[in-house]
Amino acid sequence: MRNDIKKIRKELGIRQEDLANLVGATRQTIIAIENDKYNPSLELAMRLAQVLKTPVENLFFLE
């Protein structure tokens, strides 16, 4: 599964560490998600969407 988290995060001017703190994850988890090496749980995906102010379907894409 691909995602646009890095692109949207940068557009909003949010650092990886700050995003991690806001969603209750580690920076390493955010890095892994952004690099398509880890698919987050539904709960984490929804938290990311909420913090990044975009619907979850705009963050993640099936390949």
DSSP string, 36-60: TS-PPPHHHHHHHHHHTTS-HHHHE
Q: Which pLDDT tens digit goes with each residue over 10-47?
A: 999 999 999 999 999 999 999 999 999 999 999 999 99
CA distance 54 to 32: 20
- Asked whether the whole model's pTM tops 0.85, one would answer yes
CA distance 50 to 35: 20
Question: Whose structure tokens read 């938290």?
Answer: 47
- Indicate which CATH number applies to the domain containing 22: 1.10.260.40
* 60 domain-assigned: no
> Is it the case that residue 50 has pLDDT exceeding 90?
yes
Q: Is residue 28 part of a domain?
A: yes
What's the domain range around 24?
A: 2-53
Q: Is residue 59 domain-resident?
A: no
Amino acid 63: pLDDT: 80
How many domains is the chain built from? 1
Asked whether residue 10 is assigned to any structural domain, the reply reads yes
- Alpha-carbon span 11 to 32, nearest angstrom: 19
